Every structure is written in C-alpha cells, then in structure tokens.
Amino acid sequence: MKRKTIVCFGDSNTWGYSAATGQRFDEDTRWTGLLSERLGSEYRIVEEGLSGRTSVCDDPLFEGLQGISYIYPCLLSHSPLELVIIMLGTNDTKERFGLTSYNIAQGIVRLAVKAKGIAAGADGRAPEVLVVAPPPIRNPYIDTNVGPAMGSHCDKKSGELAAHLQTLLAGTGIHFANAGERIAMNEIDYMHLDEEGHRQMSVFMQEQAMRVLNEADR
C-alpha cells in the first residue's frame, strides 16, 4: 500500500519543546507522533519542526531559521506529498524583527504561496497546503524566562494573527484553520504547548487534514 505523506512544517511547537524541562517531548507525546497514530498506516507524517523558525525573517542572532529559504528543498526531499501543514508565526512576533501582526501574516502567506507552487505532489502536481494559526502567546509570557528574548507586545501581535491570515488567504486556494479557537499555550512560559496541548493539537490537526484531503478529492 502506498502511503500518503504529510509534512508538518513549523517551529518549536512542532518540534515538541517542553517548557517544563527545556527538552523535547517524546514521540508519543508530540502532536505529530499522535497524529501519525490517529491517521494510521495509510499516512506518513514528516516532522519538520525547528525551534526559533520564522516564516520569512532572517534572525540576526541565529542562522538557518528562515522558513522561506528552506521550504523548497524540504518539500522536494520528502516528495511526493499529499499535504503540507504550516504552523508558524510565534517567533515572528519577536520585538527585534519589528513586524506588525499584519506583516507577520503577509510573511506566512508568502511562504504558503511558495509551498503551493512547488511541484512536490504526485505526478509533479503541487501538494495541498494548510496554514494553521498557532494558539496565541498569552500575556504573562513577558514575566517568564522567555520575556527578555521575545520583547514587548508579542501577545498582542500573536492574538491578531489569525484574523489577518484568514483575510489574506481568501481566494488563494490555500486552506486555513485557527488552532487558537480550541487550544491554549501552557501556563509556564505561555508560548509553548504542554502535554495536553499536544494531545488536543493532534485531534485538531487530524480533523483539519481530513477536511483538506477530502475537499481535494471532490
């Protein structure tokens, strides 16, 4: 049986960073691993999470985090694909990038449009692309250990992101979902998923992936 490949392209919340330990959640805890279990043997889930990843910003402090420069080789290396799930935007809120929430959405859409134009699907077609707005950063983050690195107003920009993404993606043929409608970040640094958040995300992603793939088959 030929399995269908889904690439999950994201940041530390796709990689599986645990704010409680500073380490990575194991495969049985990460939402990507749980998603693989939920979808079963018919699907292959590719984890492409990287802590600190941005959509289009070139980070002056760390190299190789710019999603726009990696998406092309990434998708081709895992082809043929059925679906690419992009969940980014949390790191783009960092004060040092100087972006508004609208600018962040523009960058994510630019990345998604690029992904949609890559012939990484079966028979040289483009794969389906699903953009997921991550759960917003919550206000107390500034008083935690991530506050100094993130800077000010990240929660405000993060909270505005989903509405801008939905507007900008309309009519592009790129699918959209808002994880913040059902899932919240942890109560440690307020910008990462905890164990329960990963479980909820796996359920949400299964629903959204099946919606997208079913629509594509019509």
Cβ–Cβ < 8 Å for 165, 88: no
- CA distance readout (Å), 86 to 16, 79, 83, 203, 210: 15, 16, 10, 16, 15
pLDDT of amino acid 2: 85
- CA distance readout (Å), 206 to 68, 118, 189, 197, 202: 25, 24, 26, 14, 6
CATH number of this structure's domain 4-217 = 3.40.50.1110
Q: Look at residue 93 and tell me whether its pLDDT is greater than 80.
A: yes
Q: Residue 105 corresponds to which tokens in the numbers above? A: 């959405």
Q: How many CA atoms lie within 13 A of 143 on its CB side?
A: 4
pTM of the predicted model, to two decimals? Answer: 0.97
pLDDT of amino acid 142: 97
Query: What is the C-alpha to C-alpha distance for residues 106 and 41, in angstroms, rounded to an integer?
Result: 36
